[in-house]
Amino acid sequence: MSKAKVGVLISGRGSNMAALIEAAKADDCPFEIALVLSNKPDAGGLETARAAGIEAWAIDQKLFGKDREAHERELDAALRQADCGYVALAGYMRVLTPFLVRAWAGRMVNIHPSLLPKYPGLDTHQRALNAGDAEAGCTVHLVTEGVDEGPILGQARVPIRTGDDAHALAERILVEEHRLYPAALAELVQQKPASS
Ligand code: GAR
């Protein structure tokens, strides 16, 4: 079986990236992780990826100043060079410009720690607690130009417990993120043949 090649973009510890790498080891997983890129040189996930034998490096956003598109052109070139058919954002904490979003339309996914359309953006766990919600969760969606707005591919729900703080809730949701992301990505690559 030929596997879809996925490039993963991270900014930090990369636990979702690690979950994708782990899932991709299965013979019947329809994707493989071809490349990991970070916008930050100190992202811990880079070392994790390399330890798993995956090519991983940073394209430091600081080198491009305010020119976000120039930074993304480098990301895009590296993804194409690695022959990626899909891109998975995994804790990539920088809003994308229309350039990269359009370049990968329908083939770029994101994981977000809320039940979208609730709580796009940051501080999702605290916002769910502040609202008195009975449940929270995570969402995998296609990336479009509106932040955290694209078509939803999958969600996982987590009950909010009495006494939960943002940290406890985030940890429980993260467990679900690690299950949901590989499953949703596998489904996408099986539906939609990559074209570049
Ligand atoms: C994850 O919880 C992910 O859903 C979230 O950042 C965390 C990254 O953790 N992403 C966003 O908030 C994107 N808007 P990780 O680096 O361990 O995967």
CB 180 near ligand 1, within 6 Å: no
Name the residue type at position 1.
Answer: M
Q: Whose CA is nearest to atom 5 of ligand 1?
A: 91
* Higher per-residue confidence, 48 vs 192: 48
- Which residue, among 169, 97, 172, 91, has the nearest Cα to 133 in the 3D structure? 169
For the chain, give the percent of residues with pLDDT over 90: 96
Distance 174 CA to ligand 1 centre (A): 8
Question: Of these residues, 71, 112, 125, 178, which one is catalytic?
Answer: 112
- 91: tokens are 């804790």
Q: Which residues of 54-69 are buried (b: 16+ CB within 10 A; e: fewer)?
A: bebebbebeebeeebe
Distance 4 CA to ligand 1 centre (A): 23
Active site residue 112: yes
- 122: tokens are 């940051």
pLDDT of amino acid 13:
98
pLDDT at 193 over 70: no
Distance 93 CA to ligand 1 centre (A): 8
Q: How confident is the model at residue 196 (pLDDT cuts 50, 70, 90)?
A: very low
Q: State the DSSP string of 118-165.
A: SS-SS-HHHHHHHTT-SEEEEEEEE--SSTT-SPEEEEEEEEPPTT--
